[in-house]
A = this chain, B = another copy of it.
Amino acid sequence: MTPRRQQILDIAADLFAQRGFHGVSVADLGAACGISGPALYKHFPSKDAVLAEMLVSISEELLTVGRRRAEAAGSPTAAVEALIEWHIEFALAHRALIVVQDRDWSSLADDAREQVRALQREYVDVWAAELRRVHPDLTLDRARAMTHVAFGLINSTPHSGLLPDDQMHGLLHDMALGALVAPA
């Protein structure tokens, strides 16, 4: 990955998060990178391709690291906690990507959207499987629904910013644990 490509992806994440995919023109994005407009097409085939690469790559990272950490855990409860830790870590480190992922997901081209959906479903099922080990009487659909709710909980991070990151980390950890493990 050339540094310019990475710079474009990073800056695009911030701009898309602030103003939405359709609210950022290629001229805006170029200008924010210190180049201007059409120069983007030396690095990406289209504006949509920028969004697609951004969202596919983070979906892959969430899945592969999440799966690895869940496998490394010693018990189902430890696995759930590891998944919570990982997701919080990621969400705090990549606030902009979290916002773009669930706001502009629908602006993806059909094939990229399906790719992202498939990766997300796999990631959800990693969580759901561990939850069902912790709560054996849990339906698969109910476990998936709980996972979506937990994502909503953790992904709320970018909308608040009232607390410093380390305090926010602890708060999210406690609340996610309370929501997922305590009540059953």
CB atoms of A160 and B149 under 8 A apart:
yes
Number of copies: 2
- In-complex Cβ contact of A107 among B20, B106, B156, B157 (8 A): B20
- In-complex Cβ contact of A156 among B152, B157, B168 (8 A): B152
A96-155 interface (Cβ within 8 A of B)? 102-104, 106-107, 141-142, 144-146, 148-155
Of the listed stretches A42-50, A60-68, A169-177, name the one at the interface; the rest are far from the partner chain.
A169-177
CB atoms of A175 and B171 under 8 A apart:
no
CB atoms of A175 and B168 under 8 A apart:
no
CB atoms of B19 and A20 under 8 A apart:
no
Min C-beta distance of A103 to chain B, whole Å: 5
CB atoms of B149 and A175 under 8 A apart:
yes
CB atoms of B142 and A171 under 8 A apart:
yes
Of the four ranges (under 10, 10 to 19, 20 to 34, 35 or more), the interface on chain A belongs to 35 or more
Min C-beta distance of A151 to chain B, whole Å: 7
CB atoms of A172 and B156 under 8 A apart:
no
Report the Cα distance A171→B150, complex, angstroms: 12
Report the Cα distance A171→B148, complex, angstroms: 11
CB atoms of A159 and B102 under 8 A apart:
yes
- In terms of DSSP, what is the predominant structure of the interface of chain A? helix
CB atoms of A178 and B171 under 8 A apart:
no
Given contacts A141-B163, A155-B152, contact A178 B183 (CB under 8 A): yes
The yes or no answer to A162 lying at the interface (CB within 8 A) is yes
Report the Cα distance A133→B167, complex, angstroms: 21
Min C-beta distance of A144 to chain B, whole Å: 5
CB atoms of B159 and A146 under 8 A apart:
no
The yes or no answer to A179 lying at the interface (CB within 8 A) is yes
